[in-house]
Structure formats: C-alpha cells, structure tokens
C-alpha cells in the first residue's frame, strides 16, 4: 500500500547561534523524498542524531553529514538517488581538499532495496541504513568514523520507536501546529505492483501507550492536528491500555481525549480494512476530519484481480456508500494506476466510470511502472508508454474537473479553519480546511494554532479565500 507521494524536499532546522566558548556543533542535512512517512522518519532521524551531538541544518553546504532519505515507489527512483550522490560526491572531494570531512548516508526504501549495491556504485557513500534501523544511526556513525563503510538493512528485532530519543519540547515547537505520527509500518497485502512489503516488511502496529505518549508530547508543544501514518494504517491493531487489542477506530477516540489536540486524520488506507468501528468514528467523532484517502487503483475487476487487491469495484462503491451515510460531508481522495499490464481500453473505461460514480475531491494518479522484484514486473502484456500517457491525461482531466467542482461548492459555506502559517503576502495568514485546502485569511483573523470559523468568499487554483465570521 502506498502513501501519498510528494516532491523531494529538505528537512532542516537552522541551528541557534552557539555560545562562543562552546565547540561548533556537528550539522546534519536530510533530503527527503517520497511519502509522508518519510517526512516523519527524517524528523526522527534528526532526533536520533541529536543524541550524537548533531543539529539539523537546512543548508547542505554547512553540513558535516548528508542523509538522503529515499523512496522506491516510482520508476527510476534509484537512478535519481545515484545522480544526486554524484553531485554530493564532488562536494565531498572539495571538502577533503580543504581538510574538512563530509559523511554521506543513504536511508529509506532505496537503501533497503539496493543495500551494498549503493556503496559499490557510489564509493563516496559511507553508510546505508534501512527504514527499520535508523534508530541505530549513532552506533553506525561511530563505526563509520572507525574507518568502515556500513550497510545496516537487516530488519530490526527490537522496537525502533522505543530506542529513539524523544525530541526536546523546543524542537517540537519549531515544527509547527500540525504533525505526522507513525502508528503502523509495513504491509501484508502484496499488491502485485507494489514494492512496499519488500522494503518496509510485514505489518507492525505500535502499542496504544506509545502512540498516546507521543501524541501528548506533540499537543503539549502546541500541535493542534495530528495525521496518523501507516503503509496500511487502517489495518492497525495495537495493544490497548486495558491489555486488549484495539482497532484504529478506538485509537482515534482515545487520541481525541488529549487536551489541545483538536483535529485527527489518518492515511493511507486499504478498502478491505475499513471496519464498522472505524466508520462509526467518522460518524461520531468531531475531531476526525471529513476527508478520507481510500485508494482503489482501478475500476476494472479483471485488473483489480491481477493487482491482487482482493476486492471488486462493486465492493469499493458499496463501502463508499456506507462511509457517506455515516458522514455526509466527507470528501473522498484516491489513488489510481493506469496502464497496468494487460489493461484494455474497456478496463480503463471502467476506471473512468468508477471515478464518475464516486466523484473525488482529489486523487493521485500514475502510469504503471514496473518495480524490480514485484510480480507485476514479470507479467505479460506491458503497455506502450504512449498508451499509458494518453490514458493518464484523460483520467487526470476528469479528476481535475471533479476537484474544481468540489472547491467551487465550498464558496459561501462557513467552515472551521486551523491557522498554521504566515501567508506569502503581507497581511495574510494561511489556514487548513477540514479537506486539506489552504485557506487564505486576513492576518488579524487569528494567531497560528487558532481554529476559527470563516466564510469562503472565492477560490484560487487549489486554495480558498475566506473572511472571518
């Protein structure tokens, strides 16, 4: 199961000016590729490295350690990493000439998939560490400084979350009023297009006490909205505070009890794991935002079977009806893959038909790209790129029209908005709607962290403009 992918971006917090008498702190620069879970992992890597004397920086030229936290979902992901490593290798050589050390590490799913091959192809790399072992970073760095190159991609026996140091409250405050919180990792579904079970391993759920403790620390630092993350988050089943096994619905009710935590979300889900308790949470829990990302991938039963999704288009549509009956204002988001091996024009038309029936507020759509080691890569009937591109354009045109219709339907409505950052222009602040659109409001409408009622006056391309009620 995939999380929503994003453009690559850098996680870094500019260090405070050190006291002149203290030695200069070592600095780490983390470049993050891919999904929300990688963003969360990058933050936890910096937490682990803080115990080793590192502070995060958003300037790669200042760094003593550069980490690339990689994603393996899309085609040619590994090649993009090697290209980036070539540029950093040149920086490392320049540093060496000047008598300064620069360490290079590769983390994340490409690291897990490629392992020692990364160091073979890019000898400038000092360490390769998988997504289940990054809590060992301080120990790995100690061995690197001893003159060794380290590949740490075995699945950890211990619970990495228990071994990660907790960030200081001041550090959490800097991260803002919204936060990600990983509650589940790995996937047991083995969709034939997906590499996640091979890079992230089997499904593992964190216990309730651990999740609640982390959420409480976030709330105490001013976080108002938390998004629970998992490769297959609604398959989460963790040990509860009463010793019983809880499901995601019950966990959401427990998190809603935390003072200061006003909004909850979760992603990414599988249709087969939407149980009655979770649907009831959408009906009965005001803190749970009316926005659900529920990937279907295709509207063709034949292609869904080839993908090993283990549900039909009708199963999915009946589930959507149940969810909307529970929460009338819920907005749906989805994932779609076009051009899966063997997909005919009729199969693709079935996908368009499903999209029209559901009417999505947003969706992520991609051309199928074979991932080495997955069953889909070995299937017959791979389609020409031109066919995949043409189908993707048609699907995206339909989804874009639905998205614009949804945004336009909000004009005139009064909605709750969480102010989460300054605006790009003077006199503005930016909030977050219940459906994740940016909401532009007057600077005097409230402070960052406030949840205010606003009336939507007009729309931008992907944003809303509003006035205080």
- pLDDT at residue 38 above 90? no
Question: What per-residue confidence (pLDDT) applies to 157?
Answer: 58
Rounded-to-integer distance, Cα 211 and Cα 159, Å: 13
Alpha-carbon Rg of the chain, whole angstroms?
Answer: 23
> 411, 425 in Cβ contact below 8 A?
no
> 282, 290 in Cβ contact below 8 A?
yes
Residue in the block written with tokens 């639905």: 402
> 263, 225 in Cβ contact below 8 A?
yes
Predicted confidence band of residue 229 (pLDDT cuts 50, 70, 90): very high
- Nearest 5°: CA angle at 40, between 67 and 16? 65
Question: What per-residue confidence (pLDDT) applies to 23?
Answer: 52
How do 5-11 and 54-56 pair as beta strands?
Answer: unpaired
The predicted-structure confidence for 137-185, as pLDDT tens digits, reads as follows: 989 999 998 889 999 888 765 677 776 767 777 777 778 999 999 999 9
Higher-scoring residue by pLDDT: 403, 35: 403
Question: What per-residue confidence (pLDDT) applies to 199?
Answer: 83
> 24, 216 in Cβ contact below 8 A?
no
Rounded-to-integer distance, Cα 285 and Cα 283, Å: 6
- pLDDT at residue 448 above 80? yes
Short-list 122, 128, 124, CA closest to 82: 122
Packing angle between helix 208-220 and helix 248-255, nearest 10 degrees?
30
The predicted-structure confidence for 102-117, as pLDDT tens digits, reads as follows: 999 999 888 888 889 9
- pLDDT at residue 19 above 60? no
- pLDDT at residue 80 above 90? no
How many angstroms separate the Cα of 2 from the Cα of each of 51, 356, 445? 31, 23, 37
- pLDDT at residue 79 above 90? no
Question: What per-residue confidence (pLDDT) applies to 270?
Answer: 96
Predicted confidence band of residue 191 (pLDDT cuts 50, 70, 90): very high
Burial degree of 444 (CB within 10 A; 0-12, 13-18, 19+): exposed
Q: What is the DSSP letter of 288?
A: B
> 443, 467 in Cβ contact below 8 A?
no
- pLDDT at residue 8 above 60? no
Short-list 231, 220, 303, 299, CA closest to 266: 231
How many angstroms separate the Cα of 159 from the Cα of each of 151, 207, 343, 351? 19, 11, 41, 40
Short-list 138, 148, 139, 77, CA closest to 108: 77
- Nearest 5°: CA angle at 161, between 156 and 164? 100
Question: What per-residue confidence (pLDDT) applies to 175?
Answer: 80
Question: What per-residue confidence (pLDDT) applies to 75?
Answer: 63
- Whether the CA torsion 400, 329, 4, 32 is positive or negative: it is positive
Coil, strand or helix at 23: coil
Higher-scoring residue by pLDDT: 2, 318: 318
- pLDDT at residue 124 above 90? yes
User: Average pLDDT of the chain?
Assistant: 90
Rounded-to-integer distance, Cα 438 and Cα 117, Å: 42
Predicted confidence band of residue 11 (pLDDT cuts 50, 70, 90): very low
Instruction: Please give the share of the chain, as a percent, with pLDDT higher than 70.
Output: 93
Higher-scoring residue by pLDDT: 83, 332: 332
Question: pTM for the complete prediction?
Answer: 0.84
The predicted-structure confidence for 254-286, as pLDDT tens digits, reads as follows: 999 999 999 999 999 999 999 999 999 999 999
Question: What per-residue confidence (pLDDT) applies to 18?
Answer: 40
E strand or H helix at 27: strand 26-35
Question: What per-residue confidence (pLDDT) applies to 201?
Answer: 85
Helix boundaries (H) for 75-203: 77-97, 108-114, 116-121, 137-145, 160-163, 169-174, 196-199
Hey, which bits of 291-338 come out as E strands? 291-293, 331-338
Predicted confidence band of residue 341 (pLDDT cuts 50, 70, 90): very high
Higher-scoring residue by pLDDT: 413, 195: 413
Question: What per-residue confidence (pLDDT) applies to 35?
Answer: 80
Question: What per-residue confidence (pLDDT) applies to 22?
Answer: 42
Mean pLDDT calculated for residue range 424-441: 95
HSE-up (13 A, CA, CB side) for residue 347:
22
């Amino acid at each position: 199961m995939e999380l929503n992918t994003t453009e690559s971006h850098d996680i870094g917090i500019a260090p405070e000016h050190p006291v002149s008498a203290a030695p200069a702190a070592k600095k780490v620069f983390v470049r993050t590729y891919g999904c929300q879970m990688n963003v969360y992992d990058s933050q936890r890597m910096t937490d682990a490295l803080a115990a080793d004397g590192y502070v995060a920086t958003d300037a790669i030229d200042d760094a003593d350690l550069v980490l690339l936290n990689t994603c393996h979902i899309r085609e040619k992901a590994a090649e993009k990493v090697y290209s980036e490593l070539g540029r950093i290798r040149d920086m490392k050589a320049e540093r060496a000439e000047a008598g300064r050390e620069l360490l290079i590490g590769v983390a994340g799913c490409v690291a897990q998939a490629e392992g020692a091959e990364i160091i073979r192809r890019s000898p400038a790399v000092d360490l390769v560490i998988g997504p289940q072992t990054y809590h060992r970073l301080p120990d790995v760095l100690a061995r690197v400084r001893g003159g060794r190159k380290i590949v740490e991609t075995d699945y950890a026996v211990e619970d990495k979350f228990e071994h990660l140091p907790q960030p200081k409250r001041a550090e959490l405050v800097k991260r803002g009023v919204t936060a990600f919180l990983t509650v589940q990792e790995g996937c047991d579904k083995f969709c034939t297009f997906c590499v996640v079970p091979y890079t992230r391993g089997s499904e593992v759920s964190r216990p309730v006490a651990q999740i609640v403790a982390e959420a409480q620390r976030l709330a105490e630092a001013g976080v108002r909205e938390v998004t629970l993350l998992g490769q297959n988050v609604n398959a989460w089943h963790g040990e509860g505070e009463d010793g019983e096994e809880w499901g995601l619905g019950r966990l959401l009710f427990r998190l809603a009890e935390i003072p200061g935590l006003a909004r909850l979300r979760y992603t990414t889900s599988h249709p087969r794991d939407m149980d009655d308790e979770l649907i009831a949470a959408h009906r009965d829990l005001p803190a749970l935002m009316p926005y659900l990302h529920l990937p279907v991938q295709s509207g063709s039963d034949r292609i869904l079977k080839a993908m090993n999704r283990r549900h039909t288009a009708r199963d999915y549509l009946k589930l959507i009806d149940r969810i909307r009956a529970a929460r009338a204002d819920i907005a749906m988001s989805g994932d779609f893959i076009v051009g899966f091996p063997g997909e005919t024009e009729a199969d693709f038309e079935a996908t368009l038909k499903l999209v029209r029936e559901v009417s999505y507020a947003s969706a992520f759509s991609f051309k199928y790209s074979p991932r080495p080691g997955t069953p889909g890569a070995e299937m017959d009937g791979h389609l020409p790129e031109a066919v995949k591109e043409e189908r993707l354009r048609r699907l995206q045109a339909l989804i874009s029209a639905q998205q614009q219709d949804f945004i336009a339907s909000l004009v005139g409505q009064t909605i709750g908005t969480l102010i989460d950052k300054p605006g790009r222009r003077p006199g503005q602040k930016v909030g977050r709607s219940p459906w994740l659109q940016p909401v532009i409001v007057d600077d005097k409408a409230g402070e960052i962290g406030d949840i205010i009622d606003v009336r939507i006056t007009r729309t931008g391309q992907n944003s809303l403009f509003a006035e205080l009620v």
